[in-house]
Structure 1
Amino acid sequence: MHRTISTLLFLTIVFGTVIVVTSNNWFIIWIGLEISTLALIPLLCSNFSPRNVEATIKYFLIQAMSAALLLNGALIQAWVMGSWSILEPINNVTSVAITTALAFKIGLAPCHFWFPDVLQGLPFSSGLIVSTWQKIAPLVLLFSMNETMPTTLILALSGFSVLVGGWGGLNQTQTRKILAFSSIGNMGWIVATSIYSYNTALVMLIIYLIINTTMFLILDLLNVSTLGHLNAVAQLSPVSIALVVLTTLSLGGLPPLTGFMIKFFSLYTLITNNSIIISIPLVLGALLSLFFYLRMSFNTGLILFPHHIITLTSWRNSNSLTIISIKAWLVSCLFIASTTTMPLTVFLYVII
């Protein structure tokens, strides 16, 4: 695809998200979601391979179904209340329909079944957009409607998502599927926290977007598609090992890395509001997901036996200077932000 066309489509995606975030009319929100989805479809199938087209069609069908469900709920709301405003009190049928539609768009369990397959069939660049940017609009919409949405249903979906995200990633060998289940689990943490604190959930979302973007870009830069490919990272340079291991552990939430603040802010908010019961499945799901995060880290640090150490570390024999690409500089900056900015995150949380 030509660079001008892809840039125009990406700007259209951003425009659709801005429409959703800044509007308080259900019909305009639906239009913004559809604009963002339709602009993303050509970008997803730009490679035009059978697996890529299959993933694109699955994504389109799920997004069309969720958009139709959201529009039907908005029509019922307009028929009952006589207004398209999201500020009006929502009836029970509309709240359940809209919550289900947003759960499909975000990938909350049990509406998550499409997400791992779609992400596996896409390149890392396209999967990055699906797992990060495309979730901003539905999440912000869900944040802004917490007072009118069914709290019990949202908490149940969140707890189930964390458990599914931890359990589903245990037997995966494809890195994109592991990142998909990781996203499902992290969405559960963010949505559960948003019930009690909009600002805390927003800070958690920003941290997650930075860490997840770093992880996708590192795996794309190193061309790591399976856990077996992680063994070859040691052949590139010691810096590559540090990038993968620290970013993976930060995504898993180990202190003192930045990703730990996602779990800390969420548990602090839930316990402060006496939500001990919902905290139990969140902690159990985090322990399950930590297993495959550690497995990725161990595979990255392993050295293939019985190869000679000189052949494995061929970077030692290279005397030529190479120009660092823009993507490598971007990965380096995001890596610093996703692993060493925990004090800055605490300061941002206190201010907000």
Structure 2
Amino acid sequence: MTATLPIPPHFALRHQPRRLRRRAAMRAMLRETQLQASDFLLPIFLVEGTGVREEIASMPGVFRHSIDSCLQLCGEAVARRIPGVLLFGVVAAQCKDASGSASWDSNGLVQRATRAIREHYPDLLVIADACFCEYTDHGHCGVLAPDGDRDDPATLENLQRQALSYAEAGVDVIAPSGMVDGMVLAIREALDAARYERVAVLSYAIKYASAFYGPFRDAADSAPSFGDRRAYQMDPANRREAFRELALDLEEGADMVMVKPAMPYLDILRDVRERCDFPVLAYQVSGEYSMLRAAAAAGALELQRSVLESLLAIKRAGADAIISYFAIEVADWLD
């Protein structure tokens, strides 16, 4: 007579999570976080000229575009249902000065590009970065005082000029990124006084003094000629300070807020999401982009899987939208 073997304990488990993972259809049905093309905004670097599409050495696959080339890229974004673009102007050295006055020139790069996008792609959301580091001859984010520190009152006045110039050109959203105390209030008051009440403000409310901005400074020719920006960007060691910055910018009238960078600050992004009912965006910055590109080029990572995983993490942490240089590729992968 054959002895009956006791049933191993693991066979008696009532709950086996793997039941819900075994088939692709089941995994797709139960997936908690979904990426789609409408989650993304595409950053674009603008330069003067015609037919310019110049690859950025530290950001393979990302280019500086003349306005005609920018329009082609916007067409690609529209075709992929990407809802908007974030514009940065990169001006020649001879156009830079101590105050960054080229940024509020009615015939400036961002202004002309905005009008062109409005004409060709009227439904595409146009966001203009509002800062001065790309436009000043010293590379800092505003006017400098005699001691080399930033003169915030003078910078706020110029920020109002810049915002009004962008609004007049037809920008949908002004996105101040200089971490100037009072920047949101200054912009909101200037826009409302000029009857641009419908132009929204997306504040770079929580912007850390990060090592991950390096490739951007190459792309935008915006590295400071001396010192750094730690006196006005946030200390990477600080968490609670983010809540104060968030509260101040919302009180001043921000319509949306941003956490930058994204991946190294997912804890902050989650904190902000839990404390804020306003839309929260995250910026997958240049260093995050270049790091993934370099790892994939070296064969250490599979590009598509690693990029999508990183973006899922950002959305899972609470981002309503993500600014990413991968936006076009991701839209193709998701299609």
Same fold, TM-score > 0.5, yes or no = no
Higher helix residue share = 1
TM-score scaled to structure 1, two decimals? 0.27
The structure whose Rg is larger is 2
Higher strand residue share = 2
Q: Which has the higher contact order (CA 8 A, sep 6+)?
A: 2
